Structure 1
Amino acid sequence: MSIDRFILHKLSREANEHTRTNLLRLFVIRIRSAEKQEAVRKHQYIS
């Protein structure tokens, strides 16, 4: 199972609000990181 799917799975099942908040923050960080990597790849492809 990928880490993203694991986070989503835990997020959907977690009852503790503090833990849910931290999981959501982690997921947002992973999304932003992936967006940055994609932007770099597109820039390298164009150059």
Structure 2
Amino acid sequence: MINHHYPNPYLYRGIVQVEPFINAHYADSIELNNIVDEAYFSK
């Protein structure tokens, strides 16, 4: 198994990028797939 370590800026960028999406759709049913797509993360 390959263990990838990403620097903190990668994680921070994804979180900052997905926050506006969550704020804009908080009343909707947001699925994990939507969040990871916005943040460019994998499940």
Greater share of residues in helix? 1
TM-score (norm 2): 0.39
Report which structure shows greater RCO (CA 8 Å, sep ≥6).
Answer: 2
